[in-house]
Amino acid sequence: MIIKERGRHMYLIMVSLFATALLSLILTPLIRRLAFKVGAVDNPNTRRVNKVPMPTMGGLAIFIAFSAANFFLLRKQYPTNQVWILFIAECVIITTGIIDDIYELKPKQKIMGITLAALIVYFFAHVRMTTLTVPFFGTLNLGWLSLPITVLWILAITNAINLIDGLDGLATGVSIIALFTSGLTGFFFLNVTSTFVSIMMFTLVAALIGFLPFNFHPAKIYLGDTGALFIGFMISVFSLYGLKNATFITIVIPVIILGVPITDTVYAILRRVLNKKPISQADKHHLHHRLMEMGLSHTQTVLVIYGIALIFSFISLLYPISNVVGSILLTVATLLGLELFVESIGLVGSQRRPLLNWIGKMMKKESRISNHLGKKNKNKDKHQ
């Protein structure tokens, strides 16, 4: 009886996910027309890759499909109060994104919208980081630091997704990979997320899959800030369900899963600081820009970054089966490999390659030592 009930439960979820993807697929062309009517259009300029005016606000189709699934198809799977509170916060994010897509908000205004949504989930849904367990040091109660850390986490992840939305299908595909991996990790490996959070992740994946055919190169519609902010906000909130009582592993896993947007954001900030430019000033040196400058086509660049996202996801799946020492070593190896990749493509700048330069010096030094020893051996052979 229990097995039969579980089977019916799983069948309902699968049908709901399919319906969500289908609804997103149907809604996207309608939102495309609406975007043209209200003026949510991305016009070509020196920073953008589109050659013709492109409708934005595509995230509205994803939001509607996702919300419909939550309220009508999967309402019995979720705590009702959590769904309503999250929905209100989502509406704040969506409204911020729509206004930005039509009128172009200033960065500070967007931050205010994201912060308001973050405060809603913090105070009313109790989605927050409250404790932090550090290996070898024990558990730290965050106390009043819980609020700023939670808000900063939401701001950082939301803006990270927004920053990588620079090529057709890029942010959508990377988000699908990140959400699917997060859902699997939470559902099968970690006891930090309840089932409803994993189901919500898979529901958002379904909505994104329905949207992707219209967003992949050559795109017919963009996510816009409506979509990028919404997706980033939801990913940050989902991850916080696992960070309520944070440990080294529960912090590292979402960071690794979101390796692509976080890496691009961190090195963009570093690049602008080193070049004495405002952090909010846009440039053409993001990961996708660098890959295209190396000769990759639009589609090839997107697929390469998908591949990088999959590598990060695979690495994240190793953490739940590793002990503390293994996790630390895995993190160090990942960071070293990442730094080598970043320096090799010149993400911070072609002249700023400290690790590669150090390796080069070590190799030259070793080569000189080898040559010196070789000459000594030759001289010995002559005397003998």
Tell how strand 131-134 and strand 245-247 pair up.
Answer: parallel
Instruction: Name the token pair of 154.
Output: 């939401």
Q: How many CB atoms lie within 10 A of CB 367?
A: 10
CA 167 from centre of chain: 15
CA distance 227 to 208: 10
* Alpha-carbon torsion (125, 157, 20, 177), positive or negative: negative
What Rg do the C-alpha atoms of the chain give, in angstroms? 24
CA distance 205 to 199: 10
Are 50 and 44 in contact by the 8 Å Cβ rule? The answer is yes
User: For residue 127, which of 196, 226, 215, 69 has the smallest C-alpha distance?
Assistant: 196
Token pair 């390469």: residue? 304
If you ran DSSP here, which 8-state letter would residue 320 be given? G
By the 10 Å C-beta count (0-12 exposed, 13-18 middle, 19+ buried), 202 is classed as buried
CA 254 from centre of chain: 9
| Amino acid letter for position 368 | R
User: For residue 233, which of 62, 368, 103, 73 has the smallest C-alpha distance?
Assistant: 62
245 is in an annotated binding site: no
225 is in an annotated binding site: yes
User: For residue 100, which of 69, 59, 57 has the smallest C-alpha distance?
Assistant: 57
Angle between helix 59-68 and helix 2-38 axes, rounded to 10 deg: 150
By the 10 Å C-beta count (0-12 exposed, 13-18 middle, 19+ buried), 189 is classed as middle
Whole-Å CA distances, 374 to 10, 103, 360, 363, 370: 69, 70, 21, 16, 6
Please report, in range form, the residues annotated as the binding site. 162, 225
Please report, in range form, the residues annotated as the binding site for Mg(2+). 162, 225
